[in-house]
Structure 1
Amino acid sequence: MSGNIKYEYKSVQTMRGLENRSIEKAQNEGGWELVDQAQGTLRTTLNFRRVKPETFLSKAWDAFRGLAPAKQRSLAAAVAVLLVLAAVGIGIAAAHDKGDPKAQNSATKSTGSATVNETPITSPTPTPSPSLTPSEETEPIITAENNKELAALLNLGDNCDPSMAQFAAKYQDQKIEFDGSIENMQKHEKYDTRYDILLGPGDAGPNTGVGPAFKYDNVNMFDLNLTGMNIPSSVSTGAKFRFTAKVGAYNPKQCLFFLTPVSTTVR
């Protein structure tokens, strides 16, 4: 067996400025070691590695590779025979359970013959249940005033906290509303008139230190549905709004909480 250390690798993308949080999370939760990082316009790619844990299968594979070629072929042939015999036994047992007389007779004959007839069994395709869509007219908007979970979420000091994923799963596609500001705004990688916008609760803009890292992904100015007094012709980092948005997915690798804009009210 080789004495070389074996590693497993993974890559994580995070918003620029949030690298330290992602690195600390990977180190604490999985023992990952940062190898290198590549900074893009809006995102940073972090490459990690850690010592690959040995399993029974990996040890067995190393032992197999250490055998002479002739012994490898012999062992592989023996394993193949065992797999065929196991498949025959499973097929016979299934036929007996179903009470198929033809299959039982075939099983009886197979004891004196090396030929096995296998008939594939097609599972019935399940009929999908119809999805129910709640009426948007009667759906309440979740705010920090009427929902304790959102109130707690907006005041968390770690945007990688596991409660982010729990909230996203529980309130998927429901509307939330909160006072916030734009932390970061960059043109989308492919389009000059579309943007990736990072939002945070409160009025601190790029200095926001609490709550989730909310993100509008690949949106234009029309998607924001700006309302209120003195509507600006454009928005920028630091601008303060009352955001109404639908809850999207939470990405634990990037520590990003995705939202879909519904309306954006000038404050």
Structure 2
Amino acid sequence: MADEINYEYKTVQTVRGTDGLVISKMQKDGWELVEQAQGTFRTTLDFRRPKKPLPWPLIGAAAGVLVILAIVIGTASALSGGGEKKDEPDKPAAAASEKPSATPAPAAAESAAPEVITAQNNPEFAALLKTDDCDDANRDFATRHEGETVAFNGSIVNMAPHGDYDTRYDFLLGPGDKGPNTAVGPAFKYEDVNVFDLRLTGKKIPDAVGVGDRFRFVAEVGEFNADQCLFFLDPISTEVR
């Protein structure tokens, strides 16, 4: 009977219109497209490829190492337990110091909180907000500043339920005030968040948010997905403008 083929699986979400590029790239890496589901905002692609079996010589070598380790550990245990320890006289407790211990040196002052990156204090970020969403500047900025905090005036370009959830969403954000008509700047994305995660602030907090709403976004820099041309962020606060 032929050996059963074991597969590994991978799911990729793309912005509609980039499906072909992603499929082609995955197929070059040996992946086979199993299913393609198109949504309003994104397309979900499911792939699989055969798992590479572990060579038998490596399996045999690993087993041999485990046997040797077991023998060594057993021998060491036997040697350490071969003789009884002689009773040792109890050592007197250390006498309390006659002089009070020196006052510990004060901890070094904590470094100032890292500066939030804005278009006003960072020329690189100012240029990024005016570049194309697939430009290499997105990847370069994400690589250099991952984990740091950025703040910018922007709006919601698109908003769609995340998977089958009713209260969790994927937000597509753009710099500026044009909402779904945004044509310049990175395609910033909040993935799998609810409205509470946005941490809305401001004088008049809305009961709901939607496409076109304008905010001051403060977020942590994540990764840039070059296949999808998406720049991922994690929300820190969202101020109503």
TM-score band, normalised by the shorter chain? 0.5 to 0.7
Counterpart CA distance in 2 for 1:175 and 1:46 is: 31
Residues 21 and 227 of structure 2 are in contact (CA less than 8 Å); yes or no, is this contact kept in structure 1?
A: no
Counterpart CA distance in 1 for 2:111 and 2:235 is: 15
Counterpart CA distance in 2 for 1:208 and 1:136 is: 38
| TM score, norm. by length of structure 2 | 0.61
For residues 210 and 26 of structure 1, do their structure 2 counterparts lie closer, same or farther at Cα, with a shift above 3 Å needed?
farther
Larger helix proportion of the pair = 1
| TM score, norm. by length of structure 1 | 0.55
Residues 22 and 227 of structure 2 are in contact (CA less than 8 Å); yes or no, is this contact kept in structure 1?
A: no
Alignment of 1:1-267 (within 5 A): 13-16=13-16, 19=17, 38-45=37-44, 138-156=113-131, 158-267=132-241
For residues 154 and 168 of structure 1, do their structure 2 counterparts lie closer, same or farther at Cα, with a shift above 3 Å needed?
same
Q: Given residue 237 of structure 1, which amino acid in structure 2 is its aligned partner?
A: V
For residues 46 and 208 of structure 1, do their structure 2 counterparts lie closer, same or farther at Cα, with a shift above 3 Å needed?
farther
* Corresponding pairs, count: 175
Q: Please report how far the alpha carbon of residue 190 of structure 1 lies from its aligned counterpart in structure 2 after TM superposition.
A: 3.3
What's the Cα RMSD here? 3.7
Counterpart CA distance in 2 for 1:207 and 1:193 is: 25
Q: Look up the match of 1:5.
A: none
Deviations 1:123-152 (A, max 9, x none): xxxxxxxxxxxx796111000011111111
Counterpart CA distance in 2 for 1:203 and 1:142 is: 20
Counterpart CA distance in 2 for 1:179 and 1:154 is: 10
Match of 1:259, SS state, is strand
Unaligned runs of 5+ in 2: 1-9, 47-56, 58-63, 69-109
Identity percentage over the alignment? 54
Counterpart CA distance in 2 for 1:202 and 1:154 is: 9
Residues 168 and 247 of structure 1 are in contact (CA less than 8 Å); yes or no, is this contact kept in structure 2?
A: yes
Unaligned runs of 5+ in 1: 1-9, 48-83, 85-118, 123-134
